[in-house]
Amino acid sequence: MKLRLFAGVSVLVMTAGLSACSSSSDTSDDSSDGSTTIDVWLMRDSVSAAFQKDFVQGFETAHPDIKVKVQIQEWDGIGEKVTAALASNDAPDVIETGNTQVAQFAQSGGLLDLSDKVDELGGKDWLKGLAEPGTYDGKQYGIPYYAANRVVIYRTDLFKAAGVDAAAIKTRDQWIAATEKLNTGGTQGIYLPGQTWYALAGFIWDEGGDLAVESGGKWKGSLDTPEAIRGMEFYEKLQALGRGPKDADEANPPQADVMAKGKIAQTIATPGRASVIIENNPELKGKLAFFPIPGKTADTPGAVFTGGSDLVIPTASAKQDAAYTFIRELTGDTWQKKLALAMSYVPNKTTLADAVASDPGAAAMAVGAAEGHATPNTPGWAAVEAKNPIKDYMTAVLTGGDPEKEAAGASEAITTALNSGS
């Protein structure tokens, strides 16, 4: 998924001058000194100007035969732009893409198969939520770049007033009990809009279910399985411990704005939303903290959707070796640690989680990232999100609809969307 979750978030987005950044004054493809120049597309807000400058300088120093020219791309319309580039004879050499977009681009045959590089790149330790959507038809096309996922943002003052110890919340049952205690008087125990479907997906994964499954080469919606219905039952129980709208998602109205204005004990969001809450209500500075979404048992955190980016190489690139060297460096341990600290991201490997231990929000994300998932790995998923019957299903259940009947209807709609282009 493209990481637009962070757009406008000051703690993560430090992009002044980023679009004007270029790594080298050399704008030709091949320099007179025999070096090769590669064109790299990075997405708006994925890195700060400072990090980009440091990395490119470090890379070119370590690899004097390769020069890097970075172009910053906008998320809006990027799918069509990448598709056109992959079909042309003038594709960039490296492209950053949302992790769940890789299958769509790989289906066209426009991406280089990097399966033989997985071991060299430490693939056994990659975050599952980045690595799995980077595959298509059993081959690895996308190399995990960075990740982010949702956590619980909470008001420390309201927790203290209610006598709730956030550190003691390790299971779903403990979370419900604490939220019930917080949901008193004028305080909402949690603000959870009725259509926050990424949160629902996590609860479904916790139960062993999924949004859709593949069988015999066809995809089928699976919200009507017992496991998925149990996930919805938990969502309904949690959502009732606040006054979030049942017919809207977290963007309508922006939940950070809502939390800033009211006495809301918790919300589910990426850690960067905390800065937006504080911007809207400076009195909350120093009163916000984080914990991972709890799981069914204390020894396993709750499953979460892993958003983030992968790096890919177009088959049309004439400089694939240099492009791979760039990817190997940027996704390697040294620069992954620096990126995590600079941008409050989760590194691409589970073994690097300690790199963000000093950042409370990122540390909470890293715990959840170990149980990260992605949406079904099929090019057809874009058609599901376009109409998103999951949201309609959630509202129907929360407003009194029969869960099994509504789940069956939503599953049928997902099945139709997934197979509409097959």
- 167-222: per-residue pLDDT in tens? 999 999 999 999 999 999 899 999 999 999 999 999 999 999 999 999 888 999 99
Long-range contacts of range 394-399, CB-CB < 8 Å, 24 or more positions apart?
394/194, 394/195, 394/197, 394/200, 394/232, 394/235, 395/194, 395/195, 395/246, 395/247, 397/232, 397/236, 398/194, 398/236, 398/239, 398/246, 399/246, 399/247
| Packed helices 197-206 and 226-239: angle between N→C axes, nearest 10 degrees | 130
pTM summary value: 0.79
What string of pLDDT tens digits covers the 422 residues of the chain?
444 443 333 333 333 333 333 333 334 455 567 889 999 999 987 888 899 999 999 999 999 999 999 999 998 788 889 999 999 988 999 999 988 889 889 998 999 999 999 999 999 999 988 999 999 999 999 999 998 899 999 999 999 999 999 999 999 999 999 999 999 989 999 999 999 999 999 999 999 999 999 988 899 999 999 999 999 999 999 999 999 999 999 989 999 999 999 899 999 999 988 988 999 999 999 999 999 999 999 999 999 998 889 999 999 999 999 999 999 999 999 999 999 988 888 899 999 989 998 999 999 999 998 888 989 988 888 889 888 999 999 999 999 999 999 999 999 999 999 987 65
Q: Model confidence over 219-255: pLDDT tens digits?
A: 999 999 999 999 999 999 999 999 999 999 998 999 9
